[in-house]
Amino acid sequence: MSTDAYVHSIVQGVKGGPLLFVFHGTGGKEMQLLPLARNLLPGATVVAPRGDVSEMGAARFFRRLAEGRYDMVDLARATDKMKGFVQAHADARARTAGAEEIYGLGYSNGANILASVMLSAPELFSRVVLMHPLIPFVPEPQAGLARREVLITAGRHDPICPPDLTLRLEAYFRSQGATTELEWHEGGHELRPSEAEAARRFLSAVPVTGASR
């Protein structure tokens, strides 16, 4: 897969620093989370792809049939394509700068594609931040998630991502051996400063032994 499989932006970080992929929400573009990413993890090289699906003009990473009803065929397509994109950038970065850690951060639809990639190829990311993910199905067991690190952030009154599904996803990651944290706020689907602070602490923490690629 090519590093140009998606329209994307890159912000170069320091040599040997982490590589951070960020995935926007529905209707966002590749620039949506770049300022947040740079504040959360200074020195990281940030790669921000734009979703290649249009829903009435709003960019997404995969199609859906309705709110919370995914086009599972297109999700599989998008997951395979994104895996190739991430791997191509990781390989290119390793050749030129020797990046040791690869992280992911996604919001809403971006969190969903990031979660799907991690479920399919857990070796790609050592640490991910899933902001308001919605996984409306029970994933298959994935032994490769052991010693991965996951932060989920969510709103207790989110009308798009029901809290019970958030708790189910947290329980799933824990059951697979992933080091899992859950950060709640009292609002809905919006991002709040407490989430950004939790993500900053999580991404800047010393890596867990054995969790790197």
157 is catalytic: no
Asked if residue 213 has pLDDT above 60, the reply is: no
Taking only the tens place, the pLDDT of each residue in 131-146 is: 999 999 989 999 999 9
Contact 83, 121 (CB under 8 A): yes
Q: Which of 24, 108, 116, 185 is catalytic?
A: 108
74 is catalytic: no
Taking only the tens place, the pLDDT of each residue in 43-100 is: 999 999 999 999 999 999 999 998 878 999 999 999 999 999 999 999 988 777 766 7
* pTM for the full predicted model: 0.94
Three-state SS string over the chain comes to CCCCCCCEEEECCCCCCCEEEEECCCCCCCCCCHHHHHHHCCCCEEEEECCCEEECCEEECCCEEECCEECHHHHHHHHHHHHHHHHHHHHHHHHHCCCCCEEEEEECHHHHHHHHHHHHCHHHCCEEEEECCCCCCCCCCCHHHCCCEEEEEEECCCCCCCHHHHHHHHHHHHHCCCEEEEEEECCCCCCCHHHHHHHHHHHHCCCCCCCCC
Q: Which of 116, 132, 158, 185 is catalytic?
A: 158
Q: Which of 52, 120, 189, 194 is catalytic?
A: 189
Taking only the tens place, the pLDDT of each residue in 168-210 is: 999 999 999 999 999 999 999 999 999 999 999 999 987 654 4
108 is catalytic: yes
The torsion region of residue 27 among left (phi > 0), alpha (psi -120 to 50) and beta comes to left
